[in-house]
Structure 1
Amino acid sequence: MEVLLVIIGLALIAFLVFLLGNNTKQKEYRSSTLKKEELIQKYEDEMKTIIEKYKDDPDTLTIKKIEYLKKASNKIHNNIFFSDSEAKALVQRLASL
């Protein structure tokens, strides 16, 4: 009788561990092309925000754009999704906004 209670207890514990273990959320995987496009859009949106914020002050706008381009260029060139030529093209595109 005691052995049966121990087996039932162990089975209950194993069942609870199984239920709790399957409750973890699965990660959402996106293709590298989608991630790259999201990154490009993020950089463009940030540059547009800077342009909109300082549109009435051309001197400050120029300074802020240069600061942002330096930071963004560094991040883009270190990003695994972009080759050197793609990184240069993106930085040039950001500079032309």
Structure 2
Amino acid sequence: MEVLLVVLGLALIAFLVFYLGNNTSKKEYRSSALKKEELIQKYEDEMKAIIEQYKNDPDTLTTKKIEYLKKASNKIHNNIFFSDSEAKALVQRLASL
């Protein structure tokens, strides 16, 4: 009788460990190309938002664009998804918006 309880207890523990171990949240994996595109789109959207916000004040717009380009350039150059030439091209693309 005691052996049966021990076996049932171990089976219950094994089931719980297996169930809880496999029921963890699944991460969605995206390719590096997709992540890179998402980052590029994010930087462009942020720059467009700055342009839209300050479109009636050219002096402030220029100042804010320069500030954003400095911050974005630093982040882009430190990002593992972008090579040095890609980072420079993206910063130039942002500057031309």
**TM bucket by the smaller chain?**
over 0.9
Please name the residue that 1:69 is paired with: 69
Provide the rounded CA distance (Å) in 1 between the counterparts of 2:44 and 2:62: 16
RMSD (Å) for aligned C-alpha atoms: 0.7
Offset at residue 48 of structure 1 (A):
0.1
Provide the rounded CA distance (Å) in 1 between the counterparts of 2:40 and 2:70: 16
Please name the residue that 2:23 is paired with: 23
Please name the residue that 2:49 is paired with: 49
Offset at residue 47 of structure 1 (A):
0.1
% same residue:
90
Offset at residue 26 of structure 1 (A):
1.6
2:29 partner SS: coil
Note the residue ranges of structure 2 that are not aligned, 5 or more in a row. Answer: none
Provide the rounded CA distance (Å) in 2 between the counterparts of 1:6 and 1:86: 62
Offset at residue 22 of structure 1 (A):
0.9
- Count of equivalent residues: 97
Q: Which amino acid aligns with 1:47?
A: M
Provide the rounded CA distance (Å) in 2 between the counterparts of 1:82 and 1:42: 14
Q: Which amino acid aligns with 2:34?
A: L
TM-score (structure 1 length as normaliser): 0.96
Please name the residue that 1:82 is paired with: 82
TM-score (structure 2 length as normaliser): 0.96
Provide the rounded CA distance (Å) in 1 between the counterparts of 2:86 and 2:7: 62
Note the residue ranges of structure 1 that are not aligned, 5 or more in a row. Answer: none
Offset at residue 13 of structure 1 (A):
1.3
Q: Which amino acid aligns with 1:10?
A: L
Please name the residue that 1:35 is paired with: 35
Offset at residue 94 of structure 1 (A):
0.2
